[in-house]
Every structure is written in C-alpha cells, then in structure tokens.
Amino acid sequence: MRFGRLASAGMFAAFLGAPLFAQATTKKYDWAPINGVQEVDVRDGEVVVSQLIFNQGSTLKGTPIRKSSADVRVRIDNNGLTDQQVGVAVVVFDAEGNVVAAGSNGTKWGYLNKGDRTYYNIDFPYVYRRMDQAAKFIVTIETMGKGAKTTTTTTTTTTETKGSASVESEPLPAPTPVP
C-alpha cells in the first residue's frame, strides 16, 4: 500500500515537473491571393492559421509620418483543448528572394482560449512599396500552451506549390543568457 502511494506521488511529481514547451512552425507559399484572400494551412499542434487577407495599402497622406496602410489580416483557430499564447509572422518576398513586406503580431494579453477563433492584423508600415512584385511568402506560427515554458524549438519549413511540397528542418539557435 505504501509503495503504491509513493509510486503515485512520484508519477504525479514527474508529471508536474515535465516541461511543456513553446513550438513554432513555418510554411512557404506561392503568392496567389484572389481579391486579397489566400487560404493556407499552417499548424502548430491544434492551433491553425488558415486564411490571410492581404491589403496592399498606400502611404498615409496629410501627415508628417510616411507610414503605409498595407497589412495582412490573419485568421487563427485554436482547435485544441488548451488555452494558447499565439504569435504569427508573415514575410513577403519578390521573385529574387528580396523582402517586400514583413510583420508580426500575437496574443498581447491572456490566451487564445481553447475552441476560439481570432484575427490578428499585421501591419506592413514601412516596407511595402514593392508588394506588387510579391512572388512568395512565409507564415510562421509560434504557440505556447497555458503553463508552458519557453525553450529552443525546431523550425520546419514547407514550400507548397501546385502538386509538390518540400520540407526542411533545422534547430533554432539556443538563446544566450543576459547577465
């Protein structure tokens, strides 16, 4: 009886001590929005980025600040059973691989609750003038479940084109401690 209690207590302590880690997934797509909308499927566990709505915007006029209204609206679904912190980055490239727009957004307060859907607006405030030359883009989603700890993750990049896909994986560099 005593051994059973000790074994149960040990398993419970091991479960509590087991770290839950932040994860990240990246996918690359050909630029093919229809009326600004492009369907994607970027999954990190049960959290999914499934749609992007691109707005190529213009320079805001009448102000001393030269900022654009270009952005992308990102749909995110938490289909899992755990509340999640979610970060999303979108980078758009021309045919030569030059960046033509980049931005990120994410959970600022609290969590994306299990079973919920949200939309993030990602601004392209200063690098946007060549979006008409867009050829490809990548979407990265980073998630961390409620109560999880941050750690080094592996990024998987999948390039999707009509009829084919390729996958590349590499470990992310370990963070350096700040004194």
Answer whether residue 14 shows pLDDT above 80.
no
Cβ contacts of 131 within 8 Å, gap of 6 or more: 54, 56, 70, 92, 100, 101, 124
Give the domain range for residue 76.
19-59+67-171
Q: Is 13 among the domain residues?
A: no
Sign of CA dihedral 41, 56, 60, 96: positive
The answer on pLDDT for 15 being more than 50 is: no
CA distance 123 to 136: 18
- pLDDT for the residue numbered 5: 43
71 class by beta-carbon count within 10 Å (0-12 exposed, 13-18 middle, 19+ buried): buried
CB 29 within 8 A of CB 136: yes
CATH number of the domain at 23, please.
2.60.40
Q: Give the model's pLDDT for residue 108.
A: 80
Q: Compare 173 and 31 and report the one with higher pLDDT.
A: 31
Q: Examine residue 11 and state whether it is found in any structural domain, yes or no.
A: no
Distance CA 133, CA 126 (A): 16
pLDDT tens for 43-93 read 998 999 999 999 987 765 665 666 678 899 999 999 999 999 999 999 999
Total domain count for the chain? 1
What does the buried/exposed string (b/e) look like for 45-58 if buried means 16 or more CB atoms within 10 Å of the residue's CB? ebbbbebbbbbbbe
pTM of the model: 0.69
pLDDT (0 to 100) of residue 168: 45
**What's the pLDDT score for residue 17?**
36
pLDDT for res 133: 92
Q: Indicate whether 149 belongs to any domain.
A: yes
Does 9 reside within a domain?
A: no
Residue 94, in any domain of the structure? yes
Does any domain span residue 10?
no
Q: What is the pLDDT of residues 137-170, one digit of tens each?
A: 999 999 998 876 554 444 444 455 444 444 444 4
pLDDT digits (tens, 9 = 90+) for 92-140: 999 999 999 999 999 888 899 999 999 999 998 877 788 889 999 999 9
